[in-house]
Structure 1
Amino acid sequence: MNFMTRTFGGRQATRTAAVLQVQMQSATSNRAVADAPPATSLASDDSEVSFGPFRLIPSRRLLLHGDTPLRIGSRAYGVLLALVENAGQVVSKETLMLRAWGRVHVEECNLRTAIANLRRALKASTGHVYVATDQRRGYRFVAPVTFASVSALRRGLRTPLSKIVGRDDEIVRLLDDISCHRLITVVGPGGIGKTTVALSAGNLALSRKLISEAVLVDLSTVEDPNLVPDAIRVSLGIGRQTNDPIKDIETLLSNRRFLIVLDGCEKIVAAVADAAESVLAVAPNAKVLATSREPLRADGERIHRLGPLAMPDSSYLGSIQTQNFASVELFADRAAARVRGFELTEATAPIVARICRQLDGIPLAIELAASRLDAFDLPILTELLDGHFSLHMLGRVTALPRHRTLAASLDWSFDTLTDEESIVFRRLSVFQGPFGFDAAREIVSDDQLASGDVSSIIARLSAKSIISTGTGHAQGKHLLLSVTRTYALGKLEQSGEKNIVLERLARFREGMSKQDGIGA
Structure 2
Amino acid sequence: MGSHAGNGYFGFGPYRLNPAARVLRRGDDLLAIGSRAFDILAALVQNHGRVLSHGELMAFAWPGLHVETSNIRVQMTHLRREIGCGENGNRYIVSVAGRGYSFVAPVIWEEASEPEDRYASLSCHQACCNGSDGATTTSFPPRLSHPIGRDESISKLSQMVAERRFVTVVGAGGVGKTTLAILVAHALHMFDHACFVDLGMIDDQTAVLGAVASALEIPFSASDAIGDIIGQLSPRSTLVILDNCEHVIDAVAEIVGPLLRRTASAHILATSREAFRLPGEAVYLLRPLGVPAHPGRLTAAQALLWPAIQLFVERAVDSGYLESLGDEEAATIAAICRRLDGNPLAIELVASRMGPYGLDRVAELLDNQLSLRWRGSRYANPRHQTAEAMMDWSYALLSDMDQRVFRQLSVFPGEFSVDAALAVMEDDDFEQADIIKSIGNLIDKSLLSLHPGMGPGHLKLSGIAKTYAAFKLLASGKRALIDQRQSLYHDQVPQECSASMVGSWDTGQAIQLQAS
Whether TM exceeds 0.5 here: the answer is yes
Aligned pair 1:366/2:347, yes or no? yes
Alignment of 1:119-268 (within 5 A): 151=123, 155-156=135-136, 157-159=140-142, 161-205=144-188, 209-240=189-220, 243-268=223-248
CA distance in 2, matches of 1:377, 1:305: 34
CA distance in 1, matches of 2:214, 2:261: 19
Aligned pair 1:319/2:300, yes or no? yes
Deviation at 1:446, TM superposition (A): 2.9
Aligned equivalent of 2:384: 403
Residue 488 of structure 1, aligned match among 465, 469, 481: 469
Does the 8 A contact of 2:166 with 2:281 survive in 1?
Answer: yes
CA distance in 2, matches of 1:474, 1:164: 37
Residue 433 of structure 1, aligned match among 382, 389, 414: 414
Deviation at 1:447, TM superposition (A): 4.6
Deviation per residue, 1:302-330 (Å, 9 max, x gap): 11111111112233211111111000111
CA distance in 2, matches of 1:454, 1:195: 32
Seen in structure 2, the aligned counterparts of structure 1 residues 379 and 515 have a Cα distance that, compared at 3 Å, is closer
Q: Secondary structure at the match of 1:223?
A: coil
Aligned pair 1:463/2:444, yes or no? yes
After TM superposition, the runs of 4+ consecutive aligned structure 1 residues lying more than 3 A away are 149-155, 159-163, 340-347, 471-475, 513-516
Does the 8 A contact of 2:143 with 2:186 survive in 1?
Answer: no
Aligned pair 1:379/2:360, yes or no? yes
Deviation at 1:411, TM superposition (A): 0.4
Number of corresponding residues: 372
Deviation at 1:176, TM superposition (A): 1.2
Does the 8 A contact of 1:390 with 1:483 survive in 2?
Answer: no
Query: Which structure has the highest helix share of the two?
Result: 1
Q: Secondary structure at the match of 2:475?
A: helix
Residue 333 of structure 1, aligned match among 298, 314, 317: 314
Seen in structure 2, the aligned counterparts of structure 1 residues 515 and 280 have a Cα distance that, compared at 3 Å, is closer
Does the 8 A contact of 1:160 with 1:196 survive in 2?
Answer: no
Aligned pair 1:281/2:261, yes or no? yes
Gaps of 5+ in 1: 1-43, 47-84, 88-148
State the AA in 2 paired with 1:304.
Y
Aligned pair 1:306/2:286, yes or no? yes
- CA RMSD for the aligned pairs? 2.7
CA distance in 2, matches of 1:306, 1:151: 30
CA distance in 2, matches of 1:422, 1:386: 20
Seen in structure 2, the aligned counterparts of structure 1 residues 275 and 348 have a Cα distance that, compared at 3 Å, is same
Does the 8 A contact of 2:197 with 2:212 survive in 1?
Answer: yes
Q: Secondary structure at the match of 2:250?
A: helix
State the AA in 2 paired with 1:296.
F
Does the 8 A contact of 1:175 with 1:204 survive in 2?
Answer: yes
Residue 453 of structure 1, aligned match among 407, 419, 434: 434
Structure 1 length as normaliser, TM-score? Answer: 0.67
Gaps of 5+ in 2: 1-19, 23-63, 67-120, 128-134, 498-516
Aligned pair 1:290/2:281, yes or no? no
Seen in structure 2, the aligned counterparts of structure 1 residues 467 and 329 have a Cα distance that, compared at 3 Å, is same
State the AA in 2 paired with 1:459.
G
Aligned equivalent of 2:481: 500
Deviation per residue, 1:178-213 (Å, 9 max, x gap): 0111111111111111111111111111xxx22222
Seen in structure 2, the aligned counterparts of structure 1 residues 475 and 200 have a Cα distance that, compared at 3 Å, is farther
CA distance in 2, matches of 1:368, 1:328: 13
Alignment of 1:89-100 (within 5 A): none
Deviation at 1:299, TM superposition (A): 2.1
Q: Secondary structure at the match of 1:469?
A: strand
Deviation at 1:275, TM superposition (A): 1.1
Computing the radius of gyration over CA atoms, which structure comes out larger, 1 or 2?
Answer: 1
Q: Secondary structure at the match of 1:299?
A: coil
Deviation per residue, 1:133-191 (Å, 9 max, x gap): xxxxxxxxxxxxxxxx9758784242465441011101111111101111111111111
The share of aligned pairs that are identical, in percent, is: 36
State the AA in 2 paired with 1:366.
I
Deviation per residue, 1:222-262 (Å, 9 max, x gap): 11112211110111111235621111112211131111111
Seen in structure 2, the aligned counterparts of structure 1 residues 424 and 160 have a Cα distance that, compared at 3 Å, is farther
Does the 8 A contact of 2:391 with 2:465 survive in 1?
Answer: yes
Does the 8 A contact of 1:430 with 1:505 survive in 2?
Answer: yes
CA distance in 2, matches of 1:274, 1:446: 40
- Using the TM superposition, name which of 386-395 and 337-346 deviates more: 337-346
Deviation at 1:385, TM superposition (A): 1.1
Alignment of 1:386-425 (within 5 A): 386-425=367-406
Seen in structure 2, the aligned counterparts of structure 1 residues 420 and 241 have a Cα distance that, compared at 3 Å, is closer
CA distance in 2, matches of 1:435, 1:513: 12
Does the 8 A contact of 1:469 with 1:479 survive in 2?
Answer: yes
Does the 8 A contact of 1:402 with 1:409 survive in 2?
Answer: yes
